[in-house]
Structure 1
Amino acid sequence: SSFFLHLGDFWLQFVLLEVSHPVNLSHTFYGIMFDAGSTGTRIHIYTFIQKDPVELPVLDNEMYHAVKPGLSAYKDKPEEGGNTIRALLKVAKKTVPEVEWKQTPVVLKATAGLRLLPEEKANALLDEVREVFDESPFFVPNNSVSIMNGTNEGVLAWVTVNFLTGHLYAKTRKTVGILDLGGGSTQITFLPKSKKTVFTAPASYIANINMFNHTLQLYTHSYLGNGLVAARLATLGALGADGLDWKVFTSSCLPKKFREDWTFGGITYKVSGIPDGYAGYKLCYYEVMRVVKGIVHQPFEVKGSSIFYAFSYYFDRAVEPGQIQNHHSEMCNKMTKYRPISPFLCMDMTYITCLLKEGFGFKDNTMLQLAKKVNNVETSWALGATFDHFNNLNIH
């Protein structure tokens, strides 16, 4: 009987070994990515499971938290900007198990809000963030705090969406394009099917990215100053203007009786409708055209059947109260009705239409996939950037 028991023990251990063997290969790791945008700072805390050492990891969970305004609003008070990062790191401490803190990388990438600031102001903010990171218990990699270039912003958003939609696992050429509309800049990225798209694009619009030991050529560009909020200023003629203390910037895209002070990136502008002039869709479209026409390049194959995911402000504006049902020309011709939602609604919707049609060259009947989240994860470049950190994608 004792012999049987030992055998039994041995068998039991053998079974446990067999069961635990594959589990040992699978390990959980975490990544913390800060997205310092022009209108807010967001923290993404990702939990990954690496099931197979040669395959892509699986994203198990994302914890997401956001604060407003963005870092650029603290351009004259960098310490206060640093405090917003400190507060968000508390969320990370609650989410990541303490034993993992030392090996969990914390990274902050700033986008158009800081790109639009004078260099010394942007650097003061970044230095402040570095200090906050250094006193945190997390792993701070080299170049942990930086301003991301626009190319990477588009490419990494493309990586995020194609990872979440399962296209990266398939190693296929069947991927989806992305359209990202931020406050300060807008990005377009897709994998061209046609050589002509690559040949007819400006050279700087083609980026190479390493995936699965081969190089993908992506069409990508970021238009600084063409984000939704910066485009409002450009439409008003206020982007980069002087004499802000006494100038009032007017537009027929705003309700006639509208007048207020409006702040972006820590600068205040006096903005108003045209009280004794005209307002409405046609005039507004004409004003907005100047911000788009001749600035935005039309890629050769956008008129084709590619699927594009549109997110950030594209999504936010499309789902605001009552907008899905109404054609946006009505929002311009009945501005007072929509003013409680936002006095900028007509301008924003006209800009988005103009950017997609006159800018990128999408047809009226193009169906864009509007998505704030895919599989319950935020669609932004942050996940792609975390990936890049773990699996050097070597974007160039």
Structure 2
Amino acid sequence: MRVSPGLSSFAAEPARAGDSLRPLMDFARDKVGGAGAAAATEVRLMATAGLRLQEERVREAILSSCRDVLRASGFRFEDSWAEVIPGSDEGIYAWIAANYALGTLGGNPHKTIGIIELGGASAQLTFVSDEVLPPELSRNFTFGETTYTLYSNSFLNFGQNAAQESFREILRSKDSSKNGTLVDPCAPKGYSRIKEVISRSNSLSKSKLENQFADSGDGDFTGCRSSSLMLLKKGNEECRYQRCQLGPTFVPELRGHFLATENFYFTSMFFGLKQSSSLSDFVLAGEQLCSKDMSTLRQKYPNQSDDDFSRYCFSSAYIVALLHDSLGVPLDDKRIEYSNQVGDTQVEWALGAFISNIKDTILESPGTGRSARKSRSLLAVLLGVFLLGGALWLARWRKPKTKIIYDLEKGRYIITRVS
């Protein structure tokens, strides 16, 4: 179940944030069997980039409101179970979910798939690397008898929406006039947008209009790509590693296959690209979209808004600048799949967080034949709060014994109850 808006939307009224969780609590209570079962069921709240971008006082006010509701929900809850998780954890959880769905979790590290997410506020990159990694960018994850050494990093403000807004702010900062018209290479010709610049006072609820700008589309894919690369290189001069591909941050050479999710996937879907498309396909699609005028686009895509056309013009150029110009993925390379799921399994970081939390309780080492074993019963609910909404993952075993079976055909673990 998902609900929206996300918690970050309550920045001006944090006291209202907790109430947004009530539909999730009602859903969870029904799923676990009512109030009696809820008392033995843990509930956890993990917030991501939307709250990471907020000021600490706003963050804490929102979490405090959520804790009040969770405390009174009838579920097992401790205040420390509501937190803002680091972006690197979010990336690792998504990596776990993807490899669980593929059936590679617990097997050869070199057969795992890497994951690169392009969210709204941040981007995450997680994969097994053979390079010597800086300690702050290296994480070990053990599943059964296999330990994976992962490169995991989160790039705050490098998400699609945040990057596009940063780009527009750069345009505005270069303009010396008030209420000026700014030429945006990352929007189709004929696109126009009025931007109100709001200045917020010390009070969470008070703000005032400071200025207005009009953005006018220029439809220059090449210029947009170049500007996106400059944005991605910002902070390069502060690099303290041997090399830095994104801002001041080290990224090892990408090895193996990758799953590109969220806005990578949504952009490819908009253009009608295949899951295994190359970056050359993004270049061609982006050039065609950006160069068209708005009247043509409105006629061709009657169900899309003007802002959608601007978003995907920018996104196509930004994706090429990120993956090819920054991370070195060849334009004709097809080892990246653009999708939000593997088979029938939706790749959500919340699923990976759930697996990470219960793995030591229910799984025998997959290296010893992946046979089933008995484990103590577990009642757990994981509540993940996303930038655009919430996702609830539930699992419950009523019997005191369970067993784990590895399904060779589907390539995944199945948890069943023992009678």
TM-score w.r.t. the length of structure 2 is 0.68
Q: Is the 1:153–1:381 Cα contact (8 Å) retained in structure 2?
A: yes
Residue identity opposite 1:167 in structure 2: T
- Are residue 181 (structure 1) and residue 118 (structure 2) matched? yes
Distance in 1 (alpha carbons) for counterparts of 2:297 and 2:191: 13
Q: Alpha-carbon deviation of 1:391?
A: 3.7
Which of these residues, 257, 266, 291, is aligned with residue 333 of structure 1?
291
Q: How does 1:57-206 map to 2 (within 5 A)?
A: 65-98=1-34, 99-141=36-78, 143-170=80-107, 173-192=110-129, 194=130, 197=131, 199=132, 201-206=133-138
Which of these residues, 265, 271, 290, is aligned with residue 315 of structure 1?
265
Distance in 1 (alpha carbons) for counterparts of 2:288 and 2:271: 14
Show structure 2 runs of 5+ residues with no match: 199-204, 237-244, 275-280, 299-303, 362-419
Distance in 2 (alpha carbons) for counterparts of 1:348 and 1:228: 7
SS in 2 for 1:320: helix
Q: How does 1:347-366 map to 2 (within 5 A)?
A: 347-366=314-333
Q: Is the 1:292–1:358 Cα contact (8 Å) retained in structure 2?
A: no
Distance in 1 (alpha carbons) for counterparts of 2:148 and 2:273: 38
Counterpart in the other structure of 2:148: 216
Counterpart in the other structure of 2:371: none
Distance in 2 (alpha carbons) for counterparts of 1:94 and 1:262: 44
SS in 2 for 1:170: coil
- Are residue 301 (structure 1) and residue 238 (structure 2) matched? no
Distance in 2 (alpha carbons) for counterparts of 1:263 and 1:96: 47
Distance in 1 (alpha carbons) for counterparts of 2:212 and 2:360: 46
Which of these residues, 227, 230, 234, is aligned with residue 290 of structure 1?
230
Q: Alpha-carbon deviation of 1:225?
A: 0.4
Which of these residues, 353, 367, 372, is aligned with residue 385 of structure 1?
353
Q: Alpha-carbon deviation of 1:181?
A: 1.1
Counterpart in the other structure of 2:192: 258
Residue identity opposite 1:133 in structure 2: L
Residue identity opposite 1:282 in structure 2: T
Q: Alpha-carbon deviation of 1:113?
A: 1.2
CA-to-aligned-CA distance 1:308-365 (integer Å, 9 cap, x gap): 0111111112112656686221111115244645132101111112111122221112
Structure 1 361/75 Cα, relative in aligned 2: closer, same or farther at 3 Å?
same
Counterpart in the other structure of 2:398: none
Structure 1 257/374 Cα, relative in aligned 2: closer, same or farther at 3 Å?
closer
CA-atom RMSD, angstroms?
Answer: 3.3
Residue identity opposite 1:346 in structure 2: C
Distance in 1 (alpha carbons) for counterparts of 2:170 and 2:5: 20
**Count of paired positions:** 318
Q: Alpha-carbon deviation of 1:129?
A: 0.7
Distance in 2 (alpha carbons) for counterparts of 1:240 and 1:156: 37
Superposed structure 1 runs of 4+ greater than 6 Å apart:
245-249, 266-269
SS in 2 for 1:319: helix
Distance in 2 (alpha carbons) for counterparts of 1:112 and 1:270: 27
Residue identity opposite 1:253 in structure 2: C
Show structure 1 runs of 5+ residues with no match: 1-64
Distance in 2 (alpha carbons) for counterparts of 1:168 and 1:177: 12
Q: Is the 1:298–1:359 Cα contact (8 Å) retained in structure 2?
A: no
Q: Is the 1:248–1:270 Cα contact (8 Å) retained in structure 2?
A: no
Q: How does 1:24-63 map to 2 (within 5 A)?
A: none
Q: How does 1:7-22 map to 2 (within 5 A)?
A: none
Distance in 2 (alpha carbons) for counterparts of 1:146 and 1:247: 42
Distance in 2 (alpha carbons) for counterparts of 1:353 and 1:135: 48
Q: Is the 2:181–2:216 Cα contact (8 Å) retained in structure 1?
A: no
- Are residue 227 (structure 1) and residue 162 (structure 2) matched? no
SS in 2 for 1:143: helix
Distance in 2 (alpha carbons) for counterparts of 1:120 and 1:292: 29
Moved more, 282-291 or 249-258: 249-258
**Identical counterparts, % of pairs:** 26
Comparing both chains, which one has the higher relative contact order based on Cα–Cα distances under 8 Å and sequence gaps of 6 or more?
Answer: 2
Distance in 1 (alpha carbons) for counterparts of 2:149 and 2:106: 17
- Are residue 372 (structure 1) and residue 340 (structure 2) matched? yes
Q: Is the 1:235–1:251 Cα contact (8 Å) retained in structure 2?
A: no
Distance in 2 (alpha carbons) for counterparts of 1:114 and 1:239: 26
Q: Alpha-carbon deviation of 1:180?
A: 0.9
Q: Alpha-carbon deviation of 1:273?
A: 3.2
SS in 1 for 2:80: coil
Q: Is the 1:254–1:335 Cα contact (8 Å) retained in structure 2?
A: no
Distance in 2 (alpha carbons) for counterparts of 1:111 and 1:345: 24
Distance in 1 (alpha carbons) for counterparts of 2:179 and 2:57: 27
Q: Is the 1:235–1:290 Cα contact (8 Å) retained in structure 2?
A: no
Counterpart in the other structure of 1:344: 311
Q: Alpha-carbon deviation of 1:72?
A: 1.1
Distance in 1 (alpha carbons) for counterparts of 2:82 and 2:193: 39
SS in 2 for 1:220: strand
